[in-house]
Structure formats: structure tokens, C-alpha cells
Amino acid sequence: MKEVIKYSREDYFYSMKLPPFLQPGNTIGIMCPAGYMPAEKAETCVKTLKKWGYKVVKGKTVGGKSKNYFSGTDQERLDDLQRMLDDEKIHAILFGRGGYGTTRILDQIVWKKFKKNPKWIVGFSDITVLHGYLHQQLQIASIHGPMAGAFNHDEGNNRYTTSLKDSLEGKPTIYLCKAHASNRQGKAKAALVGGNLSLLVHSIGTNAELDTDGKILFIEEIGEQLYNIDRMLLQLARAGKLKKLKGLIVGGFSECKDTVRPFGKNVNQIILDAVQSYRYPVCFDFPISHEIENVAVIIGKEYRLEIGPDQVTLSNI
């Protein structure tokens, strides 16, 4: 029987379905809905998943014959994803990589069979738009976490990839990180939502736009100009996405760039300015990012966030 989590407030109610957690012998599909990934880049992931006790099916978009940026044409990527969504013998879909391209096929996906037999969808970055759609339109939980490429670090044996195993198997998770000087202390208990900042902003006004009211929001980013981060935070604020949060988790903002004439603020200052009117707790440098430090979290599941003077704790117990 599928677990259903119900959240309620005076002005809000929804039910979030959790797909069945994985058991030894279950099958995980690997495909690429966006950018191209050489087949050899997925091999460590395949070996690790098998070591964990799972069967693995690779889609045609892993190391396909594409000659451009994408892992295949829009139709080829759509067909590969649709096959895995519809296949009842596949119990989770772990994406090879993100990049760009999931939005191009999102509205052509047929969800009829998936809604009857939901399975875990795992990824981050460009996959944020898919997480948003699952959360808002289908009320089905998904996992923001390491993709196949991440397993090439430490041969798939580190606490970030193993956090994915724990999430897939439904084990309680507790993540700890050091306090940051810019943190705003406090506690929150709410459903967790979020993802890549660019994709969250990209989804505003679409069927993948996240309702953040009463929730803990997490954001992360890579390779953006500081002024563009400021612009995206302003867009979230103007769209009301920062107003009624229970808490904000700021993950890694790596490889950020400044203009020749400096913008005048760093990333943390930009974010704090965007939420200065609100009183909820905020933490920085949480291990959700485009780097190795990227723990798995279940979007739509209730988490406890505690930001203290020395340590930050995020748990789903």
C-alpha cells in the first residue's frame, strides 16, 4: 500500500503520495532527458547500483548517437523516458545528467500509467522542472539528489551517493552541517521543496511552478553572474515565493561570476537582502549543490530544520 502524507493549514491542504520504497532485486532505469552523456560515464553508477542489490536498465539516451548537445532528439528523449515511466518492472528512474532539455519534452509526457503505479524519479539541476511538475500536478514525491555522473567520485562510495540509497529505501535521514556566519537561527517543520534557482524561476507561470507557502525551500546554483542571481531572487520575491516560507536552505552556489565593474555584493548578501523582510530561519552552505556535496532529499516529504549557533540539522524522522 502506497504511503500518503497529508499536510494541512487553515488555508491549505494537499496529499502527497510516496512511491514504494525500493527492495533488493528491484530495477532502476538510467536515461538522459536533457544533455548528452557518454556511456562510460554511467558505468561506475551501474556497478554501484548492482552492488547495492538492484538490477539496472540503461536507456537508449545513455551514450546515444546524438551529434549535438542533447542526448537525442526531443522525440527520442521523450520516448526513452516514456518507456521507463510506463514499465512496471522499473521501480525508479535515475537520470544520467541534467544540463538543458527536460522542459522541451515535459508537456508531451503521458502520466496515465505512472499515476497508477508511481515510481521514484531522481535527479537535480535541469530535473528541477520535472520535480516541480510531479509535486504540483500529480502530488507525487520525488528525490532531489545525485545522478549517475556523481558516482564517478570515490567510485560511488561516499556519504552523498549512499544518502541516495537511504532515501530510495525509505530509511530516516539526518543531515548535519556546520553553522555559517550568515545563518539566521531558528526551527521549522514542514514539507521540503526546491531545486536549482534558475529552473525554479524558469517554472514560474507554468504547470511546474512550485507552491512554496508554508514549506521549507532549498535553492542551489552554478555558474551564474551575481547580478543574475539578484534578478532571480527578485523574481521569486515578486512572485510571492519567499513570503510565506517556514525556512530557507541555501545550498552550494558554485562558480559564480562577477562583472568587470563589481556588482557590490556576494551571493549570501544578495540572498539575505531578498529575505530581509521575513523572519523565518535561513542557513547557508548546506550540502545540496552541483558539486560532490549533494545529499538526497525527498521533495514533498516533511522535514525538521534546526539552525543553531554551532550546527544545522535537517532530518525527516
Q: Annotated catalytic sites, by residue?
A: 125, 220, 290
Say which residue the cell 533488493 belongs to. Answer: 24
45: buried, middle or exposed (CB in 10 Å: 19+, 13-18, 0-12)? Answer: buried
- For helices 267-274 and 226-238, the axis angle rounded to 10 degrees is 10
DSSP string, the chain: --EEEEEEETTEEEEEEEPPPP-TT-EEEEE-SSB---GGGGHHHHHHHHHTT-EEEE-TTTT-S--SSBSS-HHHHHHHHHHHHH-TT--EEEES--SS-HHHHHTT---HHHHHS--EEEE-GGGHHHHHHIIIII-B-EEE---GGGGGGGGG-SHHHHHHHHHHTT---EEEEE--TT-B-EEEEEEEEEEEHHHHHHTTTSTT----TTSEEEEEEES-BHHHHHHHHHHHHHTTTTTT-SEEEEEEEET-B--SS--S--HHHHHHHHTTT--S-EE-S-S-SSSS----EEETSEEEEEE-SSEEEEE--
DSSP-derived pairing of the beta strands 92-95 and 120-123:
parallel
